Amino acid sequence: MTVDLSKVPQMTQTPAQHDERMQWFRDAKFGMFIHWGPCSVGKREIGWGRNARRPWDIGIPDPSDDTHDAEYDNYYKVFNPERYDADAWARFAKESGMTYMVLITKHHDGFSQFDTKLSDYSIMATPYGRDIVKPFVEACHKHGLKAGLYYSTRDWYHPDYLVGDNKAYDEWYRGQVEELLTNYGKVDMMWFDHVGGRDWGKWKFDELFAMMYRCQPELLVNNRAARFCGPTTPEDQGPESPEFEHMTLGDFYTPEGKIGAMDIENDWESCIHVGQGWSYRGEDGFKGPEDCIKMLASCTTGGGNLLLNFGPRPDGTFTDGEAAVARAMGEWLNQYGEAVYGTRGGPLQNGDWGGSCHKGNKVFLHVYEWTQDTLELPPLPHQVLAARTLEDKPVTFTQDEARLAVSVADTDRDTPVTVIKLTLDAAIEPGCLTGQAPAEQEADARVVGPPPGQD
Ligand code: GLC
């Protein structure tokens, strides 16, 4: 039986439909990622901190290891986040300038943070005994945030994972994804996190995508639903067709732990943790607010989003270190949001000095380093009529065929970023990019929106 993929946008959408679907994501710029669960009790890294076998995956702790880690796998018995308050989380994210949130519903450790009929290893078996996901999605929407759910297909706990033809596991996890996309109202984003097993024949991604879009027609999906599928051996099956593979790459790609290289053609989102790991690892070792603000500016100017990760304490509260970063970013965005939300990356190539983004006939230069007193940049495609910093300080500017030169008095520069707003005599055209790309750009798994051949 062939699967009906006619409702799956990655298979059928035109470039215009794709642009329309991606609009909120492109405008959103800044989201909160939350890694949290029983592992937080032991300050152990979520998934990876579990010392047990990792079927078909790298980094196996010890081949003679058990399938279980007695300590890690029992944290759920004492996981009781009495202070979990989804409404407070969403208010906090909003005050910090975030426009969407993504919550771990099940990580590689196999623990379900939701009321699933398909497993007993879930939040319902903890002393807390209540669904974490439901209040989360409700609170996001109540506060005008988009709600995303992270789900790790890779599962080192489930006894059927990659056993035999993997059929049992493949059906089981799709059942869980269906629960997530059926029981919680509107879900705006599904954020997968890798599969194991290099053989495409072990997974029915067509069934997965058809089901997801039956449940949630407007869903966005990241690029990891089939990530790490091979084939790597002659026995492994590959993707059925380029279109099929393209479908599994979803809507955006996900540079991890780093800022994505500038890319204004494809949608992307960098995920980076503020603390020492993805989940709660203690009360110190956090990044500073200034670095995080620069990361957001780099993503924005580079054409992507920043999904900044927080690891709440086991009781459901945020650490002081993470709260300080979030608060500082909220304050910064209160003042500089105009140069972030709803903008598009470019038209200047990012460099050591910073980068640019634009909206209509406004170009915003985010300058982090005054490499020269007068910044010399490639000329913009339109005439500059006016320039001020976002703090409304004067900017000296000239533009000719060879260059755009701007300077701001020392005392009028701001840290960590001086933002200069240029008003042009015409709007920047979509896809416009000028200047030299830095020599080294690391390739990530990129996606192209509409299916091959429709561009
Ligand atoms: C990686 C890690 C995982 C983490 C994720 C976030 O896939 O395995 O621990 O949750 O990245 O991007």
Please choose from 58, 108, 193 the residue to mutate so as to test ligand 1's pocket, defined by most ligand atoms within 8 A of CB. 193
Write the pLDDT tens digit of every residue in 414-446. 999 999 999 999 999 999 999 877 665 555 656
For residue 416, give both structure tokens.
Answer: 């960590």
pLDDT of residue 153: 97
Atom of ligand 1 nearest to the CA of 254: 12
Q: Which residue ranges make up each domain of the chain? A: 9-252, 344-439
Render pLDDT for 123-147 as a digit per residue (tens, 0 to 9). 999 999 999 999 999 999 999 999 9
Ligand 1 closest atom vs CA 46: 9
Distance between CA atoms of 14 and 36, rounded to whole angstroms? 38
Nearest CA to ligand 1 atom 5: 193
Ligand 1 centroid to 264 CA: how many Å? Answer: 24
Distances in Å between the alpha carbon of 168 and those of 161, 211, 231?
8, 17, 21
When the pLDDT of each residue in the chain is averaged and rounded to a whole number, the result is 94
Which protein residue's CA is at the shortest distance from atom 10 of ligand 1? 278
- Neighbouring CB atoms inside 10 A of 388's CB total 16
CATH of segment(s) 344-439: 2.60.40.1180
Taking CB atoms and a 6 Å cutoff, what residues make up the pocket around ligand 1? 35, 46-48, 193-194, 256, 271, 278
Ligand 1 atom closest to the Cα of residue 257 is 12
Cα 26 to ligand 1 centre (Å): 22
Tell me the CA–centroid distance for residue 193 and ligand 1, in Å.
6
Residue with token string 């599928």: 229
pLDDT tens for each residue of 223-267: 999 999 988 888 899 999 999 999 999 999 999 999 999 999 999
| Residue position matching structure tokens 């000296």 | 396
Strand stretches in 177-322, DSSP E: 189-192, 220-221, 269-273, 305-310
Whether residue 372 is predicted with pLDDT greater than 70 in this model: the reply is: yes
Q: pTM of the entire structure?
A: 0.96
Superfamily of domain 9-252: Glycosidases (3.20.20.80)
Confidence of residue 1 (pLDDT cuts 50, 70, 90): low
Kindly report the protein residue whose alpha carbon is nearest to atom 1 of ligand 1.
193
